[in-house]
Each structure stands twice: as structure tokens, then as C-alpha cells.
Amino acid sequence: MAFSNFGDVGGQYEWANGVAHPLIDPFHTMQPNQTTTGECYSMDEMSMALGQVVNWITNDGNFQQRGVYNRAMTLGFLMQAPELGIKNQAQLSRKLNLSRSQTNALVRGFTNKFQFETSSQRVRKPAKGKGAE
């Protein structure tokens, strides 16, 4: 896979199977006129990652409507979507009408599968150089 500028368009593209896929920043995380530092994801990488998340939400195709809702809400909570208005796992548990242990299992299932740290896990980690040996 090679990265190159695509004619007069000016953006960076990745070529796969003879097709140019633009490397984009749909959430506008880069500043204007900032060039990429190699930390962009290709379309294939994004597709694979999103496919894995969808598989988790649908329980690998063995889904029931409520389970999909519970896992989707858990994902939104973990991504800290302000639209959900959920600040902690206790509120998530009440919103889903699940026990705390069921909610904890959903959160743990996602965090373990995708090596994703919750905000409380990130806060508890000592900063590099502080307490880390």
C-alpha cells in the first residue's frame, strides 16, 4: 500500500487494488494546514476495526434486540458521548435496567476485547515518570 498525493486534489490517498482511498479526518481532529504524521488509518484498517465493533455489538450475529441496545449504549458510554447524559456505570445500569454486575460485565467485555481503558482506569494510571519504575 502506497501513500501519494492524488493529482490536483491535494489530499493524501492510499492505493489498494488499483483504487485510491482518501485518508480523511472526518472528525476534524487535525488543525488546518497540518500534515499527517503517519498516524492516519487506512480505509481497510478502519473497516476492519468498525467490523469488529459491530460484531461485538451484535454479539457475533447471535443478537437479540435488547442485547444490541445494551451493548450500543455501553459503547456510547465508553466513548463518553455527552448526548447520552450518562456519567458513570451506576447511571448506565439504571438506564439499561440491568444489575450493576450485568453492566460491569458489558463494560468489562468491551474493555477486555478491545484493550480499551475506561476514564477511571486512565485516571488511576500514574503518569510516565511519576511512580512508574
Buried b (16+ CB within 10 A) or exposed e, 95-119: ebebeeeebeebbeebeeeeeeebe
Across 35-42, average pLDDT: 65
Sequential DSSP letters for 55-94: HHHTTTT---HHHHHHHHHHHHHHTT-GGG---SHHHHHH
Number of folded domains that form the chain? 1
- Does the pLDDT at position 76 exceed 60? yes
Query: 14 lies in a domain?
Result: no
> Residue type for 124, please?
R
Query: 133 lies in a domain?
Result: no
Question: For position 55, what pLDDT does the model report?
Answer: 93
Segment among 21-25, 64-68, 73-77, 120-124 with least mean pLDDT: 120-124
Pick the closest to residue 69 from 92, 47, 89 (CA basis): 92
- Give 116 or 108, the one with higher predicted confidence: 108
CB 5 within 8 A of CB 13: yes
Question: For position 79, what pLDDT does the model report?
Answer: 86
Query: 45 lies in a domain?
Result: no
Segment among 24-33, 88-97, 100-109 with least mean pLDDT: 24-33
Query: 54 lies in a domain?
Result: no
Question: For position 56, what pLDDT does the model report?
Answer: 93
- Does the pLDDT at position 106 exceed 80? yes
| Most confident residue range from 4-8, 18-22, 43-47 | 43-47
Query: 1 lies in a domain?
Result: no
Q: What is the pTM of this model?
A: 0.61
Query: 56 lies in a domain?
Result: no
Query: 21 lies in a domain?
Result: no
Tell me which residue range forms the domain holding 93.
64-121
Q: Return the C-alpha cell found at 32.
A: 488546518
Query: 18 lies in a domain?
Result: no
CB 22 within 8 A of CB 3: no
- Does the pLDDT at position 19 exceed 80? no
- Give 72 or 115, the one with higher predicted confidence: 72
CA distance 110 to 116: 7
